[in-house]
Structure 1
Amino acid sequence: MSRTALLLLADGRFPAGGYAHSGGVEAAVAHGAVHDPDSLEVFCRGRLHTTGLTAAGLAAAAAAGHDPLLLDDAADARTSAPALRTVARRLGRQMMRAARATFPSAELERLSSARPQGAHQPIVLGLATRAAGLTPVDSACAAAYESIGGPATAAVRLLSLDPLHVSGLLARLGREADGVAEAAADAAARAMTEGVDVLPSASSPLLDITAERHAAWTVRLFAS
């Protein structure tokens, strides 16, 4: 069951709202940074090792049993752009709805009551994986994959890229994604005794800037 649960959580068809977001790639396409499979791979690799690592650490810590409210505050501190905080909580609300229906648990119910405006998505993901009987490294793996899978899928729509080439791109990044997940899970284990400050806090200032600009667009295909 745990393996099936991990596949479900990492599946783009899981109704957690991620299909409506591009992970910043729509803005990157608009200013020319992403225009073909090679530039998309560079974008995804950068996202994986920055915001992806940070999200994976938060998800792993939630799955390990760390206080989710404290982690939600830590996520706020690690998300400097207001537009991205809004997106993270919007995705958190949608994932909470899906997770409560699929993997009901008292921890999800408590977080939902404490954060009616929505908790950050990685925290909800971590509690969902915990409720599904998965491990912190499983949770980190799902978060790491999501950090590249979402933008890659969006780029197929935005640039009409060959889906086969994009799948190959994701496969090439697989070993790096595994490494990010393992590093995130190690940090989450340390956080249980050393506090949340040891969790990853990597960032991507360009993604922060373009997220704010993207939020002001009047016409866009994706919500972020």
Structure 2
Amino acid sequence: MSAVLLVLADSRFPGGGHAHSGGVEEAAARGLITDEASLESFLIGRLRTNGLVSAAFAAAAVDSDWSTLDAELDARTPSPAQRAASRAQGKSTLRAGRAAWPSPRLKELSQPHQAIAIGALVQVAGGTAREAAECAAYLSVSGPASAAVRLLGLDPFQVNAIVARMNLEAVVGEALKGLPMLGAPALDLFADNHARIHQQEVRLFVS
């Protein structure tokens, strides 16, 4: 495991993930996540959809044109709230990454999707497509898992064990085969509804 992967996947990396629950807050508000078992089910679904797409685009961004990939990922993200959350995290990730791995190439990006930012940073840091996919897949479940602990007071040891059980390697292997055409309608609906409610009342997470 390279240093770039360790830094990007570290929860202390200021990529803005702490402000986003990945749908967990809305799912919890609807009573769909109440305990560790229901959280695990949610995370498995999120990894196989959003996580796979993110991992594939992060991997592709190591070797492909960033602007083209960013547009393709935008087309695969029908929810306005999901697009906004992804770009907000991408902007924060890029800002932190520019400080860690300065490169003229990063000037080509302004407010990319999070997956594109991850792939771009891995590239300029000398990492591999697999590492980019691993990072994106891991972040797709680790952030929401941490959010569940904060929202529901779940046992952090059990939640960490859930993340450890996630079949990340299978998702990474699939992500390296190409760009999938997958959707997650429930996550899209959760995100858009959360954004509407967030404008009316205080919630812990932006998304």
Q: Is the 8 A contact 1:41 1:169 kept in 2?
A: yes
Report the TM-score, using the length of structure 2 for normalisation: 0.96
User: CA separation in 1, counterparts of 2:174 and 2:106?
Assistant: 25
Q: Match of 1:74?
A: 72
Higher helix share: 1
Q: Does 1:153 align with 2:146?
A: yes
Q: Is the 8 A contact 1:57 1:140 kept in 2?
A: yes
Q: Does 1:172 align with 2:165?
A: yes
Q: Does 1:221 align with 2:201?
A: no
Q: Match of 1:205?
A: 185
Quote how far apart the aligned CAs of 1:106 are.
Answer: 2.4
Q: Is the 8 A contact 1:49 1:180 kept in 2?
A: yes
Quote how far apart the aligned CAs of 1:133 are.
Answer: 1.3
Q: Match of 1:16?
A: 15
User: CA separation in 1, counterparts of 2:174 and 2:143?
Assistant: 21
Quote how far apart the aligned CAs of 1:186 are.
Answer: 2.4
User: CA separation in 2, counterparts of 1:53 and 1:182?
Assistant: 10
Q: CA RMSD in A?
A: 1.0
Count of residues in Structure 1 that have an aligned counterpart in Structure 2: 204
Q: Is the 8 A contact 1:92 1:124 kept in 2?
A: yes
Task: Give the residue type in structure 1 aligned to 2:174.
Answer: A
Task: Give the residue type in structure 2 aligned to 1:156.
Answer: V
Task: Give the residue type in structure 2 aligned to 1:209.
Answer: L
Q: Match of 1:140?
A: 133
Quote how far apart the aligned CAs of 1:201 are.
Answer: 2.3
Quote how far apart the aligned CAs of 1:105 are.
Answer: 1.8
Quote how far apart the aligned CAs of 1:99 are.
Answer: 0.8
Task: Give the residue type in structure 1 aligned to 2:124.
Answer: A
Q: Is the 8 A contact 1:108 1:124 kept in 2?
A: no
Show structure 1 runs of 5+ residues with no match. Answer: 113-117, 188-198
Report the TM-score, using the length of structure 1 for normalisation: 0.89
Task: Give the residue type in structure 2 aligned to 1:204.
Answer: A
Quote how far apart the aligned CAs of 1:202 are.
Answer: 1.4
Quote how far apart the aligned CAs of 1:109 are.
Answer: 1.4
